[in-house]
Amino acid sequence: MTTTWISPKIIIGPTATGSYYYNRPRIVEAIWEQINTGSHVLLAAPRRVGKSSVMEFMVEKCPENTKCVFRNIQGIKSAEEFYKRFYELIIFCLSKFDKSRNWFKDWFQGITIEEITLDGVKFGDRKPANYLEEIGKLLPKLQSEKVKIVLFLDELPEVLHNLYKKGKSEEASSILDNLRAWRQDARLKESFCLVLAGSVGIHHVVKNIEGRTSDLNDIKEVDFKPLTYLEAAEYVEWVTQDATVQYNVEIRTYLLSKLHYYLPYFINLMLDEINKTAKQNQQPNITTHSIDTAFDLVVRNNDHFREWKNRLFDYFPSEEAAYMNEVLTHIAHKDTIDKRKLYDLATKYNKKNSYIDLMDGLEKDGYITEQDQQYVFVSPFLSAFWKRNNPVYDGE
């Protein structure tokens, strides 16, 4: 009789929601604390740390008299499309309040709304002529009805960067200017909130567009760190609770020792690879050798990590990207890089005046961290990938 094989409760790629969502109460509480004080929030954290999952969870648990909506806006290709989407998201939130209120109909005089869904609004014959103007009319009305809406927008930096790359810097600047104006409008303090997130360094993107990053000074950044060791151990236990492959304390400890940097995504990659091999061999009892083999298999799958390298050459000028890539290659082969070597490489690439900012960017985007006056990779996965992707390094 064949026993049904049960895989761990993990998801790789799509946002973890519902029963797959692992609660991050400290982060959720920190975000709500800022929202409730009238602040707007920036989640500028490395990719794969779980920002989207947390935001979707918060939308599901939105407090009474507050309406929230989450949207990944990565595909937006123009400022006009951004304002249209922004306007539709406001309408979607408002539609969740009691529609019998006269204000909902009164506010849209002259505009015909036939259907409202999360995918958009279907307008009739009379639709907004200028979405930006309509947003400017709509937002100030929220305070009078004592309602609050919170827009969780994911991948705003991606939208701004793509506009910048396509020569639409004025459109990107317009979006930044209007977002700042709405954030700083005192009439909206109690009724409107933005939670902005992205896996790309928004400060770098804004600096490219505006020449400065001060436009973000009014947004409260919430620290979005990976799991602690105890959280990571609890996570492994949680996702494998009913699984065929079980992890005792010794095996779980060894698994986490291979990772160091505890992103649910990285943990899931290991659990998935271990489970696949164990299932293929019909051998649920795993060993440290099973973990070592899984680690090597994950690293060989370039699709998991190639984007980390591609982003450097996509988001930065070629000389800056080349400098950062050589820094990362040096660390991969030498384990660390000290300040002297950083400066020498900066001189080689003519980046003596900007290399500290570039290193700060690599740190904020989750590539490296500083330890004892030297930089190291945050994740053995990234280190192994960079070494495999650059197998020969002639640097001293």
In the CATH scheme, what architecture does the domain 304-389 have? Orthogonal Bundle (1.10)
Q: Tell me the CA distances in angstroms from 164 to 21, 168, 370, one per residue in order.
A: 34, 5, 31
- List for the chain the helix, strand, coil content (%; round to 5): 55, 10, 35
Q: What is the pLDDT of residues 112-158, one digit of tens each?
A: 787 888 888 888 887 878 999 989 988 988 887 778 899 999 989 88
Most confident range (mean pLDDT) of 59-68, 153-162, 205-214, 329-338 is 329-338
**Pair 103, 145: CB distance under 8 Å:** yes
**Cα 6 from Cα 186, distance rounded (Å):** 54
Rounded-to-integer distance, Cα 153 and Cα 86, Å: 9
**For residue 282, how far is the Cα from the chain centroid?**
37
Q: What's the mean pLDDT in 346-369?
A: 90
Three-class SS of residue 370? strand
Alpha carbon distance 365, 213 (integer Å):
16
CATH among 3.40.50.300, 3.40.640.10, 3.40.190.10, 3.20.20.140 for 18-221:
3.40.50.300
With pLDDT > 70 as the criterion, what percentage of the chain qualifies?
95
Angle at 177 between CA 220 and CA 212, to 5 degrees: 70
- Dihedral of CA 260/264/265/270: which sign? positive
Least confident range from 14-23, 189-198, 215-224: namely 215-224
2 — pLDDT class (breaks 50, 70, 90):
low
Give the residue carrying structure tokens 């947004």.
Answer: 219
Q: Looking at per-residue confidence, does 223 or 86 come out higher?
A: 86
The pLDDT, as a whole number, for residue 177 is: 93
CA nearest neighbour of 296 among 264, 268, 274: 274
